[in-house]
Amino acid sequence: MTRAGSRADPAQFPRGCDVHAPRLLAEAVTSVILQNIKVLAVGRLVQMGQTLDPKAPKMPVATLLMSPEDAQKLELARTKARSA
């Protein structure tokens, strides 16, 4: 489980991939984008001024500490995955 203060390797899952699939399948279809990125916070996505609705679907988000260059790599991978 990812927690604040830990390190993470952001990975890309192909569109339609079930991220809850068995571990071997998940490893076979992922691409690691960056390595050893510090996790600052983990929680739910909440817009500023919005009240957290306990019935709302969970959308886990993580705040990562990275260089501008690494942020560009991550965004490029996300953009490429959307267009595929």
- Ranges of each domain in the chain: 7-83
Location of structure tokens 């984008």: 33
Torsional sign, CA 46, 8, 73, 76: negative
Q: At 7, is the pLDDT very low, low, confident or very high (cuts 50, 70, 90)?
A: very high
Q: Residue 75 to residues 1, 5, 42, 68, 83: CA-CA distances in angstroms?
A: 23, 22, 19, 10, 13
Can you list the positions of beta strands (E) in 1-84?
7-8, 11-12, 31-32, 37-44, 60-65
> Given this model, what pLDDT does residue 83 score?
66
Q: What is the pLDDT of residue 28?
A: 54
- Res 51: pLDDT: 73
Q: How confident is the model at residue 2 (pLDDT cuts 50, 70, 90)?
A: confident
Q: Please state the rounded mean pLDDT for residues 60-84.
A: 85
